[in-house]
Amino acid sequence: MRAVIAGTGGYLPERSISNDELAAWKGLETSDAWIVERTGIRRRHIAAEGETASDMGAKAALAALAQAGASAEEVDAVIVATATPDSAFPSTAARIQGKLGILRGFAFDISAACTGFVYALGVADAMIRCGQARGVLVVGTEVFSRILDWSDRATCVLFGDGAGAVFLRALPEARAEGRGVLSTHLHADGRYGDILTVDGGAGSTGTCGVVRMAGREVFKHAVTKLASAVDEALAAHGLAKEQVAWLVPHQANIRIIEAMGRKLGLPMSRVVVTVDRHANTSAASIPLALAEATRDGRISHGDLVLMEGIGGGLTWGAALARF
């Protein structure tokens, strides 16, 4: 059994603000030039007051179902990757299930920060392969604007809000055709938890806390760990890097993305980039980029797509899928 990405969807809050607008709004001592040079970020979307991860995730999920031509009855499971859930419980996944009127199956959240979508894809793929589910909604949705220290210019300029989703469908014939999710490669090393963390939580401080990051340390880990995850994914299938049609990386920083493109020998025209317009939307960034590139026709039937990401935990991973 293979899990095929039958539909993709994305949702971005209406409000989009430039670096200059952000600096003026929050009174930050920064500049568009500094942010663009270090990160490639020019704009980000910010959720409206009261707009939550489940609101945005439900919209992205609906779009993915519509593109797949799937109804609510086809959904056996909703798996949501988020670091900014509406509440500790119910899970954001259960809330999305309810909002979409899905009356069967099961729903749960995954916590792996910016690697959350790759983790959720891995869990969904495993469930489909072993026959536990036939149709799975995998959603990444984040409102990082609610967990930022807006006086810390080194972190608050980096993130944005949004949601992305894919609908995975079990398709037995996909195996013979070489289509579907080929594999996922998941990693964590908790020794480095402190270099990218949220400094509070329901079970510790009783508040949700804000993002703290040792930027340079994270950067160093990102380049080496993502490179090894990418090698691992290709080696698992005896694939050469030339066979990759599209790289859809986690969108944290254009310099990390370009380094991965160079490693694979891919021109930037074969790398899907949204970080300039979305900033880092954590677990939402890969499915948002996938939605953009499948809907505008860049990624098409038969294309081999490599996804990779790294985030708090540290967690990191890669996934290969043929569309």
Return the residue of 90, 200, 209, 215 that touches ligand ACO, per CB under 6 A: 215
Rounded Cα distance between 257 and 31, Å, is 22
Nearer to ligand ACO, 35 or 273 (CB): 35
- What is the β-pairing status of strands 77-81 and 106-110? parallel
Place of tokens 């945005």: 56
- Return the closest-CA partner of residue 272 out of 252, 257, 259, 256: 257
Site string for ligand ACO, 240-269 (x = CB under 6 A): ----------x-xx----------------
- Return the closest-CA partner of residue 286 out of 46, 122, 95, 42: 122
Asked if omega into 90 is within 30° of 0 (cis), the reply is: yes
Return the residue of 9, 10, 311, 313 that touches ligand ACO, per CB under 6 A: 311
Rounded Cα distance between 65 and 72, Å, is 8
| 158 touches ligand ACO by CB under 6 A | yes
| 288 touches ligand ACO by CB under 6 A | no
DSSP state of 280: B
CB contact at 8 A, 104 and 165 = no
- Position closest to ligand ACO via CB: 215
Burial of 164 (0-12, 13-18, 19+ CB in 10 A): buried
Return the residue of 106, 108, 150, 219 that touches ligand ACO, per CB under 6 A: 219
| 42 touches ligand ACO by CB under 6 A | no
Least distance CB 54 / ligand ACO (angstroms): 22
Instruction: Just list the catalytic residues.
Output: 114, 250, 280
| 114 touches ligand ACO by CB under 6 A | yes
Rounded Cα distance between 61 and 250, Å, is 19
Return the residue of 34, 106, 108, 150 that touches ligand ACO, per CB under 6 A: 34
The footprint of ligand ACO on residues 68-107 (CB under 6 A) is none
Chain residues binding ligand ACO by CB under 6 A are 30, 34-35, 38-39, 114, 153-154, 157-158, 196, 213, 215-216, 218-219, 222, 250, 252-253, 280, 310-311
